[in-house]
Structure 1
């Protein structure tokens, strides 16, 4: 199934969810208003969701003078991937993480947390940047960004319904109990749609990213380091906007640590194992990344100058 077909199915599913919520809030009139609103949101998300997501994440643009080594690294990796240079953003978050956004390679952006530049070696940062470039190359960023925008809007609409209609059940067919269930189930349904498209795309971006940077173990090492560090450092922007979670390379939320239905990302051990197998097929040596201590993995590289610490 092509990415465009998946995008169409995703938009149709989230549009239907909008209509259901509108019907719960205002009956047939509410459903019609929600349908019109969802159509406008779909069009807006297609063209502007990257800007919305970057704003939700608290990202700010940086240039070559702000982060010369990171900029040069990204430029070189983009050339290797056959992509235009994406815009670079930085997020003032101690948790190491990153994501890519944009409707196509010509309008793409990569956002990195300041913690990514603080805790990872230069080789690991290259692996993460290559992973995000793989999302851009695979055109994952459009569907991931649209999902984040619409899922966030669905959650806000459900909360709006509880706040302003929770005590008035005359104009909706579900009553007060139905509105309470909507508050719980509507964001959950949007989250399940996010999960349906996120996990398989992460494996593919890992594979393509490893090929872009030329060494699968750089990315494998980064994933282990990111996973271990993210477990103990909160990502405040992601916690405030959980709809962003599926966009990051590692789940930024403090919950959902298991590889189950409610995790936006595949299990880190499984991703590392796949990269180790790829490294063996590519003829790489040096032993398993997962078995090496973090200090040893970080010893070989310097941290790029973020200009934002």
Structure 2
């Protein structure tokens, strides 16, 4: 992937090396051992590990995992100087350039840039604990993407899904959630999830995740059209990454049986199909997973 010519974003905060997120443990956060256990249990049972971790964080902290009352640490702002940090800043900057242009053109909506926090091991987000075992995630309450860059190494070694474009796809997917938030989709889905049972709530979560996959494809389409950013093999890298983190694949790897009703992100086939729908069309309208009769 050609990313050296991308504009670096200034909306990056680097909290790496800040000693566990500026007092996360004092606020009742979970230890890394507990997080790893909950992650393994989640994959084995077909439950999104973030739900288990968030629930345990609520118990440990004595409050809501989505509270913003605890003060968040502040790291260095602006584009980092190391290669991994520069890569993240460049990809974020490119998503900003694409969505600032395409959101008004396609849906007559102004794009508001998200923030991105790089951390190591653990920190605090507007949605509660952010720990590396949870993987990258987007918090709608503070409109921020959180990522421990060790996840890229996990993709390469554990999931065998390495490569610059695979890593860029992960960032673009989380930014896709921000686009959903700007469009007002996330608040409506979260409200609906509180009204329905677990199975239907999981199905809504799958539609949100697959839409973010599709929006990542839309970003890639326009990034390549304007900056010629894609190289041979890049699309295959993203497909490999999407397949590797499908719910069915993760449940099999955890030694459990595949339970579709417990899916929260979609199967490998679904994730690839929706990413490609966005990549082939470049249209936000192609990403309406909520109107799709079948996923």
Larger Rg: 1
- Normalised-by-shorter TM-score class: 0.3 to 0.5
Normalised to the residue count of structure 1, the TM-score between the two structures is: 0.43
TM-score for both structures, normalised by structure 2 = 0.45
